[in-house]
Amino acid sequence: MPSRRHELLARVVPRLRKSRELDDPVAERARIEEWHRGLDRGFPTRLVPRFERRFALVREESGGFPTYAVTPRGVAPTRTVLYVHGGGYMAPIDPWQVRYVARLADALGARVLVPDYPLAPEHTWKDSFPAMLDLAVRGASDPGGLVLAGDSAGGGYALALALALRDRGGPQPTHLVLHAPWVDLAETTPETEAVSLTDPWLFIGKIRLYARWWAGSEADLERPEVSPALGDLTGLPPALVLCGTRDALNPGCRLLVRRAQEAGWPLTYVERDGLLHVYPLLPFIPEAREAWQQVLEFLG
């Protein structure tokens, strides 16, 4: 049963995020593009106490967009984490994602890379995938190895990068950590629409619209770079996937689990009944604390 704090957030978060169903695709595109024009695309550290004193932040430009490297001060990093942020491929890096990234860097003694990749609808996957893959290739070559991680859309992007790295050959990630990854933008799971009715945060109309924006065309929706759950899942590194059932992306996660079993991919799946989308990143709830310990144990 979800905790009381979780149930409070289930009411508060959608209101704070002004979550609502799609009204008109043309108006939605205009709204998002106007929002993007006024965005501050800096790295939002305000939820991490004494961030500048505790962490070194380096901004690197590559492939036409910045990547931020977060490293605990006074620590020689033992591994690299490439963390791909979510947000429906149309929202920038969120302060709560930065908080999670900082916790990972601190707990693992790691250098965490956070790419600020170009967003839809102005951009599709084609505008960032080559540069993101190059970033992953370089990270996998680090002596301590690479962990690929992400939440929601970023979790799907991280998995797509893992598929491309496997196909490319050479050094591979050691682990994947995916929080409610968006892995089936083609919506091949018929139960998605019914599950979305229980989700107070994600709405099916916007999910479908953002998927088309990111894919760029209907024909590309089933590409592994866009919908990695539909690709060949053999030969991937061990993965941890965490998802709640009050999440419109839950059917896609279950599809990923089924296809992983068929492919012989070592995937550990943690599903929590009644929990929201990306619950491990939500603040102040016991379920997130449990998920944090599961991630740390998985990464060793």
The reported pTM is: 0.97
Domains of the chain: 4-299 (3.40.50.1820)
Three-state DSSP class for residue 203: coil
175-179 and 239-244 beta bridge pairing: parallel
Q: Per-residue pLDDT tens for 189-225?
A: 999 999 999 999 999 999 999 999 999 999 999 999 9
Among 189, 168, 85, 190, CA closest to 128: 85
The least confident of 40-44, 84-88, 105-109 is 40-44
DSSP state of 186: T
Three-state DSSP class for residue 184: coil
* The pLDDT of residue 156: 98
The least confident of 15-19, 190-194, 208-212, 260-264 is 15-19
Q: How far apart are CA 12 and CA 29, in angstroms?
A: 26
Q: By percentage, how much of the chain surpasses pLDDT 70?
A: 100
Distance set, CA 101 to CA 64, 182, 223, 295 (Å): 22, 19, 29, 13
Q: Per-residue pLDDT tens for 144-187?
A: 999 999 999 999 999 999 999 999 999 999 999 999 999 999 99
Q: Inform me whether the pLDDT recorded for 18 exceeds 90.
A: no
